[in-house]
Amino acid sequence: MAKTGTTTTQGLRAAIERSGYYPALVAEAVEAAVGGEPIASYLVHQETTFDANEVRRHVTVLVLTANRFIVSHTDEQNADTSSPTPYATTSTESVKLGRISSVVLSRVVANPESYTPGTLPREVVLTIGWGAVSRLDLEPAACGDPNCEADHGYTGNSTADDLSLRVSEAGDGPETVRQALAFAQALSEATAATR
């Protein structure tokens, strides 16, 4: 991590180690991306998925500095035709805060009729867009005349969809949900300050 000696940096290092997912590899990748910048906020999310007859794990680390949003993702792969031994792939992306176009936080709460402010959501989905990946949904355009047979072309929506991360209390624990909420708030505030 950044060589700042802050509790945030130490907390990130501890969270990476707690994930138990190749902590030396993940920490080195994150450290290289962060460089010497102090860390303002972070989120470590380890996920296990089931793919046919395989169990696959991966970890995503999100880091916020004063100037950048950093994403590090590590996947493990079983031995295959390209490698006789299992291997892991780690990638990092560094995004200037001014490039972030949207921070969407969806909260799922149980019994909304009796919701008390401050109650932890059952799950949260954090979606962050910065223009690297967009999804385009098209459909035929139509006019208001039900008898019209003219071709009106297409209409649609373009949605920034660079990163979407789901964290649940049942699967990840309440502390990870709290960390996701805190990270989303810090990122929202940081991107608002760059406008």
Q: Can you give the pTM of this predicted structure?
A: 0.81
User: What pLDDT, on a 0 to 100 scale, did the predictor assign at position 78?
Assistant: 80
The rounded distance, in Å, linking the Cα atoms of 10 and 194 is 27
Residue 111: C-alpha distances to residues 40, 95, 114, 119, 144 (Å): 33, 38, 6, 11, 41
pLDDT in tens, 12-59: 999 999 988 899 999 999 999 999 899 999 999 988 777 777 777 889
pLDDT in tens, 90-102: 999 999 999 999 9
Residue 105: C-alpha distances to residues 9, 98, 126 (Å): 24, 19, 5
Calculate the CA dihedral of residues 104, 41, 95, 38 and round it to 10 degrees: 160
Domain ranges of the chain: 1-97
